[in-house]
A = this chain, B = another copy of it.
Amino acid sequence: MHNLVIIGGGGAGLTAALTAKKTNHEADVTLITNERLSYSPCALPFVIGGEIDIEKIAKGIEEICENSGINCVIDEAISIDTEKKVVETKKRRKFPYDSLIIATGGIPRVPPIKGVDLENVFTLQRIEDAEKIIKKAKESKSAVVIGAGAVGLEVAAALTKLGLKVTLVEMFDHVLSRCLDEEFSEIIEQKLKEEGIELIMGSCVEEILGDKEVKAVRICDRDLPADIVILGTGIRPNTEIAEKAGIETVDGGIKTDGYMQTNVKDVYAAGDCVDSRSLITGRLMLSQLGTTAIRHGMTAGMNSVGGYATFEGVLNSIILKIFDLEIGRTGLTEKDAKEEEIEIVTGRIKSTTKSEYYPESKEIDVKLIFNALNRRVIGAQMIGGGEVAGKIDLAAFAIAKNACIEDIMKLKYCYTPPLTPSHNALVLAAENAFKKLRRIKEERKRRF
């Protein structure tokens, strides 16, 4: 009987276990996890904001495993012997394997700031973190969120909804600066300010102040009062056990091939601890998203027990809800494209979510990015009051299918006034880019 061991019970690990068991009923699948609960960490900011009940998001991993014929071991893997093919745990148990999946996830990055270990300075990765934050937030008046990535923004919004005075601090000049181009970051910044969040961009926290508990955060010679501090400074791949076992990493993440196999035969890896490849550029990059973890897990789970699946790459399709704004992106930003030295043409349009005369219609701002040479769509960004998810998914599909400007201009979209406008925003954005390309063409002509 084939013996599969999986280290880690997060989205990637559990998906891998379930997929492996479905792929090969005969396989013996063992999941080693130090968590008893399965949940989407993406839900935690909304749990903090009071939008989701905490008890609704989690299911017991042991129960899931039992129902699916998976052996669940609540323990922590501490070493892998890739020669003898054995995993050893903290409780000194040994698990031999025929194939292994490493799904150890990520560890919140804690910036080396003085005072970062004071009480009420939190990271947000686990359900226990959310519980602690909720408890402390109830008796807090002010919060400082460090890091304006997705989680930082979501938590800043959540704490604001709870009535706290929130300051958001970011090292880069803009929020979501790695996902969006400036003009889109600025729309969000405007919104955050309107909601009463103070933004301090392009600055690093100098010190977190307090005796036992945090009292304030020092930045740019100001002491911002803070009853609670959230570190939204991202997560780093948890590769310790893999690296100790001689498994190759690149830029912090475990390197895998298109089957999610590491450089060591029969050892696979999946989820936040793993590098992905950009579907557009082919370059290695981190894609620490729930959706990526699921695909990693499915691919590794299948291949590790004799199935066949490939992981072709990522576009980092992301959607966020910050107050009533829906923010979406996929593929390359204009900045990314410049770094890659891709000549681009962009199309941008402001449209509406429904027919403009329909009472509940809201604005939507769409930007599409095309390779100017082969006219292929390579990126999309949008912010609006609705309808963002479907459009981002469509743009991602178009990128994956190598669609060009004309393909999007010809989109056979649907229309009814209470749900959509008569002119589709993606089509309008593509038309906008098309006109720019024509102008480039005409200008070149005119020179001769």
Chain A interfacial positions (CB closer than 8 Å to B): 11, 40, 42-43, 46, 51-53, 56-57, 279, 289-291, 294, 312, 314-315, 317-321, 326, 328, 330, 355, 357-359, 387-394, 396-401, 403, 407-408, 410-420, 422-424, 426
Asked if A358 and B52 sit within 8 Å, CB to CB, the answer is yes
Q: Of the candidates B11, B51, B387, B407, which one forms a contact with A401 in the assembled complex, judged by CB atoms under 8 Å apart?
A: B407
CB within 8 Å for A422 and B388 given contacts A51-B358, A414-B319, A414-B393? no
Task: Give min CB distance, A171 to chain B, whole Å.
Answer: 24
Beta-carbon contact of A411 and B423 below 8 Å? no
Please tell me if the beta carbons of B414 and A51 are within 8 angstroms of each other in the complex. no
Q: How far is the CA of A314 from the CA of B414 in the complex (A)?
A: 11
- Note all chain B residues with C-beta closer than 8 A to A420: 319, 389
What are the 7 A-B residue pairs with the smallest beta carbon separation, nearest first?
A390-B390, A319-B414, A56-B357, A317-B414, A396-B412, A315-B412, A394-B394
Given contacts A319-B415, A357-B56, contact A394 B392 (CB under 8 A): no
Could you list 17 further interchain pairs (A-B, Cβ under 8 angstroms) beyond the known A42-B415, A393-B394?
A40-B355, A40-B422, A46-B358, A291-B412, A291-B413, A314-B412, A389-B414, A390-B394, A393-B413, A393-B426, A394-B397, A396-B412, A396-B414, A397-B408, A400-B412, A401-B403, A401-B407
- Minimum CB–CB distance from A417 to chain B (whole Å) comes to 5
A294 touches B422 (CB 8 A): yes
Within the complex, the shortest CB–CB distance from A279 to chain B, in Å, comes to 7
Chain B hits for A411, CB < 8 A: 393, 396-397, 400
Known: A390-B394, A394-B390. A415 touches B357 (CB 8 A): no
A53–B42 Cα gap in the complex (Å)? Answer: 40
A398 touches which of B56, B312, B397, B416 (Cβ 8 Å): B397
